[in-house]
Amino acid sequence: MGNKSISRKRVKLAEGDLFELDVPDGRHGYGVIVKHGGLKSGGTPYVAIFKSIHRERPELTELIREEVALAGWTMDALVYHGRWNVIAHSLPLPNIPFPNFKVEMEGKFYVTDVEGELVGEATPAELELLDYKFSRAPIAFQMAFEALHGFGDWQERYEELTPAYSRARITRSVT
């Protein structure tokens, strides 16, 4: 038996790409690429995963109006490995809250927008509330989605992937 390696082609992700993810009983969930990410391939996207679960693929016009359950920065590993399959392109983006983050530079703390652009010096309250910019592995999103639907326990760490968590961390609106 030879040691054959499977050559995979990196999928170029773009804003508005819709992906399908499976849960253990064969039903599907759906997510959309909301922000392209910093890599040219879109390999570090900001994703939004809809709350609902479906036995059959729903009409896309219905799907994009559904409630978002999870959102945040991640990587493209599950797309690359074929567990999250891109099934449509150029969909309208859901309205989701984008949190502010904090960053330290030269001994001072600043507030950034979701993409890391500075928006001003941080107040003491913002320092306490805001996180440093973070991402979670796609498997964390997969496990959180499964837990929402009774496959495994909801972990406290999944809370930071919810729109409510992000909404509570909007301290500066960016126009």
What amino acid occupies position 98?
F
pTM of the model: 0.90
Q: Among 23, 24, 25, 79, which Cα is nearest to 47's?
A: 79
Q: What is the average per-residue pLDDT within 88-114?
A: 96
Looking from the CA of 60 toward its CB, the CA atoms found within 13 Å total 15
Residue 79: the pLDDT is 86
- Checking if the pLDDT of 2 tops 90, the result is no
Averaged confidence pLDDT in the chain: 91
Q: How much is the CA Rg of the chain, to the nearest whole Å?
A: 17
Host H or E run for residue 120 = strand 118-121
Q: What is the pLDDT of residues 7-38, one digit of tens each?
A: 555 678 899 999 999 999 999 999 999 998 76
Domain boundaries, the chain: 18-167
Identify the band that residue 98 occupies on the pLDDT scale cut at 50, 70 and 90: very high
Residue 87: the pLDDT is 95
Question: What letter does residue 105 receive in the DSSP assignment?
Answer: E
Q: What is the pLDDT of residues 138-173, one digit of tens each?
A: 999 999 999 999 999 999 999 999 999 999 999 998
Residue 141: the pLDDT is 97
CB 162 within 8 A of CB 156: no
What percentage of the chain exceeds 70 in pLDDT?
A: 90
Would you list the DSSP string of 25-58? Answer: TS-EEEEEEEE--SSTT--S-EEEEES--BSSPP
Structure-token match 């064969």, residue found: 26
* Cα–Cα separations (whole angstroms), residue 87 to 8, 14, 16, 90, 91: 18, 12, 11, 11, 11
